[in-house]
Each structure stands twice: as C-alpha cells, then as structure tokens.
C-alpha cells in the first residue's frame, strides 16, 4: 500500500506477483501520474494501477487488518505537512493493517521540520520497534543517478520483522526522547521546526 502517489515512481519497485494499491487525495495528481504523456512510471511498471482517491488515513481505515506486507507513507516532503498522518492514532492504524512480519516505511524528508523525532516519539509510545536511515548521496550518485538526500523511518509490529535492516549498518535503531508524541488532540509543528534548526 502506498499513501501519496506523486508521479508514481514507486511503481517501478514492484516485482512480479506483487499488487500495489495507491492512496491519493488529489484527483489531479492521479490524473497526471496515470497519463503517459506526462509520467510513465505507472504505465510502464504497474499497468492498470489500483488508485483509491481520498484521504489516505481514512481509506486505510476501511482496509482489513493484517492486510499489507509493506505500507509506504510518502506524503511529508512538501511545505504543507499533513500532520494527521503522523499521530499516535494514525501510526497505530497503519501497524494494525500490517501482517505480522510486515513493515511500515515512512519517507520523512522535510526541509522545515524534524519529522524523524516526531515518528520516534510515536513509535516509543506504541511500543513499535523502529529503524532510521539518513541517505546522503555521494557527488557521483547525485550527478549520475540524480539522487537526493533523504530520511526514512521503518517501523514494524515485531523486532523480527526488522532483522534484515539490522544486518545493514546504514540503518540505526530509532528511539524517542520521552517527550509528548503527536496525537489527534496534540501536534507541535513549531517544536518540530525548531528542532530542525538546531
């Protein structure tokens, strides 16, 4: 499951036999991503994509529990962050939709806010194991592959589900700092901005 369609580039990670469901709130984004005159990721890699229009969190709430092996939340890189996708209740929902060994991948790169800390506090409160990676491309990667720096957090229902990541030194254990996690009743956007500037 993919929340945040964008141009549909994630489609090209699909392997034979895998089914992807894309959740996208903006019909125009879905229209342009699906039009090969603009972008060809979907048409080349997952023809006839299953795109569910609407708020990703609300759409996931209607999916059965234990449904996904992988759930990607990729909706935080713009200046306008949908905070309701980063709360205790939201992450608890995502985890409930994962299979026992499934993983929740959250692309939390943001120019203005320290979102890994936000997710770390939520994960701690939920008792969910989490791993973090900051990818900083080499000059060669940036030039040849058009790679950009990115931050990713992976959560799961069990430590065993993250065993493969633990074998890679680029992934580190992510823990909270005991501060209040975001919830549907509380978000601290200014605090996340200030932590980014430190």
Rounded distance between C-alpha atoms, residue 129 and residue 183, angstroms:
18
CA distance 184 to 171: 29
* pLDDT higher at 19 or 78: 19
pLDDT tens digit sequence for 98-121: 999 999 999 999 888 999 999 999
The answer on pLDDT for 78 being more than 70 is no
CB 131 within 8 A of CB 151: no
pLDDT value, residue 180:
96
Instruction: Kindly write down the DSSP assignment for every residue of 126-166, as one continuous string.
Output: HT--EEEEEE---HHHHHHS----EEEEEEESSGGGGHHHH
Per-residue model confidence as pLDDT tens digits over 3-49: 999 999 999 999 988 999 999 999 999 999 999 999 999 999 998 99
The model scores a pTM over 0.85: yes
Could you say which DSSP state residue 183 is in?
Answer: B
pLDDT bracket for residue 77 (50, 70, 90): low
For residues 7 and 43, what is the distance between their CA atoms, to the nearest angstrom? 11
Q: Where residue 196 falls among pLDDT bands split at 50, 70, 90?
A: confident
Q: Burial of 102 by CB count in 10 Å (0-12 exposed, 13-18 middle, 19+ buried)?
A: buried
* Predicted confidence (pLDDT) at residue 81 exceeds the cutoff of 90: no
CB of 74 within 8 A of CB of 66? no
Confidence of residue 146 (pLDDT cuts 50, 70, 90): confident
- Is 105:72 a contact under the CB 8 Å cutoff? yes
Q: What is the crossing angle of helices 88-96 and 115-126, to 10°?
A: 60
- Closest by alpha carbon to 42, among 7, 3, 68? 7
Contact at 8 Å (CB) between 73 and 110?
no
């Amino acid at each position: 499951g993919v929340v945040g369609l964008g141009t549909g580039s994630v489609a090209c990670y699909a392997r034979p036999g895998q089914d992807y469901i894309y959740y996208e709130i903006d019909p125009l984004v879905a229209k342009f991503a699906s039009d090969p005159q603009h972008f060809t990721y979907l048409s080349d890699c997952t023809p006839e994509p299953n795109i569910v229009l609407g708020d990703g969190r609300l759409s996931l709430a209607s999916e059965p529990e234990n449904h996904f092996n992988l759930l990607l939340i990729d909706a935080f890189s713009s200046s306008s962050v949908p905070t309701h996708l980063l709360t205790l209740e939201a992450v608890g929902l995502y985890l409930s939709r994962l299979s026992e060994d499934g993983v929740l991948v959250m692309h939390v790169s943001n120019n203005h806010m320290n979102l890994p800390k936000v997710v770390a506090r939520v994960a701690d409160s939920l008792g969910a194991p989490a791993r973090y990676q900051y990818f900083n491309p080499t000059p060669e990667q940036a030039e040849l592959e058009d790679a950009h720096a990115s931050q990713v957090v992976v959560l799961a229902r069990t430590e065993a589900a993250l065993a493969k990541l633990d074998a890679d030194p680029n992934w580190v254990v992510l823990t909270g700092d005991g501060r209040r996690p975001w919830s549907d009743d509380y978000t601290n956007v200014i605090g996340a901005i200030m932590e980014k500037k430190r």
